Amino acid sequence: MLNISSHSKLNEKVDISQYGAGKKVFHKRHYKQFNRFLAAFSIIVFFILFLPWTQTISGRGYLTTLTPDQRPQTIQSPIPGRIEKWYVREGDYVEKGDTILYISEVKSEYFDPDLVERTGKQIEAKSMAVTSYKGKVKALDQQIDALTRERGLKLEQAKNKLIQSKLKVRSDSIDLEAAKTNITIAQRQYDRVVQLQEEGLKAVTDVEEKRLKLQETQAKLIGQENKLLASKNEVINAQVEINRVQAEYTDKISKAQSDLYTAQSNQFDSEAQVTKLENEYTNYEIRNSLLYIKAPQSGFINKAIQSGIGETFKEGAQLVGIMPSDYDMAVETYVDPIDLPLVHIGEKVRIQFDGWPAIVFSGWPNVSYGTFGGKIVAIETFISPNGKYRLLLAPDPDDVPWPKDIRVGSGASTLALLEDVPIWFELWRQLNGFPPDYYQPQNTSADATKK
């Protein structure tokens, strides 16, 4: 039976150093070499912990262009249509304004091939109508002026006649007073002759003469009264004539003005129709020019999104993709929100392009091989859908130029260089999950001090 519970130790009873394997393992000379190795390794590690290490912020992005107008784009049609003919192939180089394809109309209101010409004829007809209305307006203006002048002359004539009638009334009134004076004289003479005849001083013949003269004077008085009444009637007639002339010519001028306003309304309506037709004419001309899809800028045809002949599409549909031939390369990368306060515009960044081998020591960029320099030119102020903030990097003019064979859309890894710290501090930071040391660039600090 095994004595398992016993406190006796087997190595105290059995000496394994007598065996060959024990002699090789427990030789005192190996202890000394191993201790020396550990001591040297500890010293080396201790010194390494105090070596400088550059803190970095790593990111992953892809190649793009520096300005939006240099990036790959799709050519769209602002009108619906049907593809009739292609003038390019995929991969062809096109200059700005070159025709890429020709389309035809699919809406019935634009089927007429002479639509622009017919609209131009409508504009000519309406323009002639406008000219006619202008002539009518001018004629009515002249007619109104003539009626106004004629009314003035007629009123002047009637007023003169009224003045004449009033003067005649005054003249007849004076004649009437003279007749009244004559009849008074004739009556006195008659009475005197009658008295003298009764006294025997005058003959009966003289009395009869005076009576006849008295009767004639009375008849003249009555005639003069009738003449005065006729003159007063002429005054009233002259006033009535003035009112009649005023009313007659007011009616004629009002009718002419009504015709004038009608002609002006028709003229303005025709001018509005001409303007509308000219707008349609311009729209039709521009629409016809849109049937030829042209290159917005010089570049290479990437892909025909719509293909074939006779294929229809709606307005705004993507027809073909084009890549500009002239562009400035840039890198679009992303950083975590916790690292955003540590990056600033103008800071240096190391970039490793996909397909370009590199040996990268993130903390020792000076000894990294195959990386290229970049500079931050834009920082997005709103978070991206991937939960990070976007940075735009341009080539560093003070560094090695970027490779010429890199293409837009390929991947890139980035390292933003921050402060230099000891390695032990970086290990401690990484173990605790702390962010890199926060710092401000010197120019930013100077600006803040000035403020």
Question: Which CATH fold would you assign to the domain 54-69+327-450?
Answer: Elongation Factor Tu (Ef-tu); domain 3 (2.40.30)
What integer pLDDT is reported at residue 448 of this predicted model? 39
Residue 87 has a pLDDT of: 93
- The Cα 270–Cα 129 span in angstroms is 7
What percent of the chain is helix, strand and coil (3-state, nearest 5)?
55, 20, 25
302: left (phi over 0), alpha (psi -120 to 50) or beta: alpha
pLDDT digits (tens, 9 = 90+) for 7-50: 666 666 666 666 666 666 665 555 677 778 888 999 998 888 88
How confident is residue 407, by pLDDT bands cut at 50, 70 and 90? confident
Average pLDDT of the segment spanning 217-224: 81
Higher pLDDT, 146 or 213: 146
> What are the backbone dihedrals phi and psi of residue 87, each rounded to the nearest 5 degrees, phi first?
-110, -5
Phi, psi torsion values for 162, nearest 5 degrees: -65, -40
Query: Is the distance from CB of 418 to CB of 342 less than 8 angstroms?
Result: yes
Amino acid symbol at 130: V
Query: Which one is predicted more confidently, 417 or 239?
Result: 239
Report the side by side order of strands in the sheet with 99-104: 292-294, 99-104, 81-86, 312-313
- Which pLDDT does position 363 carry in this prediction? 59
Stated as kind and residue range, the H or E segment containing 334 is strand 329-335
Fold category of 72-105+291-324 in CATH: OB fold (Dihydrolipoamide Acetyltransferase, E2P) (2.40.50)
Whether the domain at 72-105+291-324 and the domain at 115-289 fall into the same CATH topology: no
- Which of 40-54, 164-178, 319-333, 419-433 is predicted with the least confidence, judged by mean pLDDT? 419-433
- Digit-coded pLDDT (tens) for 268-283: 999 999 999 999 999 9
For residue 249 the two structure tokens come to 């010519």
104-120: average pLDDT: 89
Q: Is the pLDDT of residue 336 over 60?
A: yes
Return d(Cα 212, Cα 219) in angstroms, integer: 10
Q: How far apart are CA 333 and CA 389, in angstroms?
A: 8
Question: CA-to-CA distance for 412 and 60, rounded, in angstroms?
Answer: 6
pLDDT number for residue 55: 74
Q: What is the mean pLDDT of the chain?
A: 83
What pLDDT is stored for residue 185 in this prediction? 82
Of the chain, the percentage scoring pLDDT greater than 70 comes to 85
Name the helix (H) or strand (E) containing 175.
helix 115-198
pLDDT at 415 over 70: yes
CATH number belonging to the domain at 115-289, selected among 1.10.287.620, 1.10.8.50, 2.40.30.30, 3.90.76.10: 1.10.287.620
Poorest-pLDDT segment among 73-77, 117-121, 406-410: 406-410
**For 286-318, how does the pLDDT look when each residue is reduced to its tens digit (9 = 90+)?**
999 999 999 999 999 988 998 889 899 999 899
Is the model's pLDDT at 450 over the cut of 50?
no
Whole-structure pTM value: 0.59
Nearest to 71 by CA among 319, 332, 323: 323
Written as one string, the DSSP assignment of 413-445 is EEEEEEEEEEHHHHHHHHHHTPPPPP---HHHH
In this predicted structure, what is the pLDDT of residue 393?
Answer: 93
Give the residue extent of every domain in the chain: 54-69+327-450, 72-105+291-324, 115-289
According to the model, what pLDDT value does residue 39 have? 87
Rounded-to-integer distance, Cα 166 and Cα 367, Å: 127
